[in-house]
Amino acid sequence: MKRAVLLSLLLATSAAGASDPMVPLEFRGTWVLSAADCSRKEAAKLIIGEASVESAGIYGFVNAVSAAPKSIEVIFKPQDAHATGRNVYTFRISPDGERLLQIRGSNVVATRLKCDVAKA
């Protein structure tokens, strides 16, 4: 009996971790500090994908997404095998949906524009 319970628990854990977390559509895209940065190659761009985040040359796979009304917390590990720790970003979409606020604690540390919106 214990063996069957343990086996089913292991299978459930494996299945639960099998899929990558999905970042909500409204967060996905390229976010910049100013509209001019959309066309600059060296600009500090934040790229949020379906299950990944890239910022300032650091690329990682999203480990978890916690969704609240128009806000998410994205936790990812750098690809570099020698890197330690985890990077945590908390984001909130502005009410108009055109800006992304990066928050640490209760402070907004950056406000970004979405490139496809900034170009329009």
- Its domain, for residue 109, covers 20-119
Partnered with residue 30 across adjacent β-strands are: 47
What confidence tens digit (pLDDT) does each residue in 5-37 have? 333 333 333 344 446 678 888 889 999 999 999
What confidence tens digit (pLDDT) does each residue in 27-68 have? 899 999 999 999 988 778 999 988 888 887 777 777 777 766
* Residue at 10 is within a domain: no
- The pTM assigned to this predicted structure is 0.69
Cα gap 69→103, rounded to integer Å: 15
Q: How many domains does the chain have?
A: 1
* Residue at 113 is within a domain: yes
Q: What is the CATH number of the domain that holds 80?
A: 2.40.128
Q: How far is CA 24 from the centre of its chain?
A: 9
H or E element that contains 29: strand 29-32
* Residue at 1 is within a domain: no
Output the pLDDT for position 13.
34
* Residue at 86 is within a domain: yes
* Residue at 32 is within a domain: yes
Say which amino acid occupies 45.
K
* Residue at 5 is within a domain: no
